[in-house]
Amino acid sequence: MAEIKVLIEGIHKFLDEGKLRICSTVTLIKSDKNILVDTGSFLDKDKLIEGLKKEGLTVEEIDIVILTHLHLDHLINIYLFKNAKIFCKFNGKSSGQFHIPSEECLKRTEIEDNIKIAKDVEFLLTPGHTPDSISVVVNTNKGKVVIAGDAFPKEEFVDLESQEFLGYGQDMEFDTEEEAQRFLNNLDSREFKRWVEEK
């Protein structure tokens, strides 16, 4: 069974003057391949390298990088992984591609549900935050785990029975936290839950 380790916890925090501190969660999967899901933002480069070191790995030993979607806070440190096969999906129904930086090439590939990436690791299409969003399903000794990028804006939103949810298909930007909260307050999780059940 594959093992999962969160190397960097994501952050989405409003700062003064309308600024936002953001970074994706960066997750390591140890299977028959060393896989990284998302690579974080500028300020997290050293933390990422140190996290890999604690797991007995270097950036050169990562075999595969999967970008859950193509927002900057998920892909900025991609340049570190020159030996990895880097997977990403295009917007909409089109397929995806993988890059191999060490070979200076890319190749179109199918990125669809249930396509095996490595032992106990496969893709799951999860359009919502962006049309190109993909997640990773991992079989672990504790059961199946889904690693998703930007799935829930708040921990409380995991309870789909009682909490609001940032609507699927939305990729919205807000000038203030109050404006974002007003938007969230007008949505409810039942809409999202219906969408999940239809899938």
Report the pLDDT value the prediction gives residue 157, as an integer from 0 to 100: 53
pTM score: 0.75
Other Cβ atoms closer than 10 A to 8: 21
Report the pLDDT value the prediction gives residue 169, as an integer from 0 to 100: 37
Residue labelled with tokens 């299409």:
125
Mean confidence (pLDDT) of the chain: 79
Domain count of the fold of the chain:
2
Same domain, 46 and 140: yes
- Pairwise CA distance, residues 160 & 163, whole Å: 6
Same domain, 31 and 120: yes
Give the helix/strand (H/E) hosting 12.
strand 11-14
Residue labelled with tokens 């789909």:
160
Same domain, 12 and 98: yes
Domain boundary among 110, 132, 150: 150
Same domain, 54 and 131: yes
Same domain, 74 and 160: no
Which residue in 3, 4, 70, 83 sits closest to 38, CA to CA? 70
Domain region containing 40: 3-150
Same domain, 142 and 195: no
Same domain, 159 and 127: no
Residue 167 has pLDDT above 50, yes or no: no
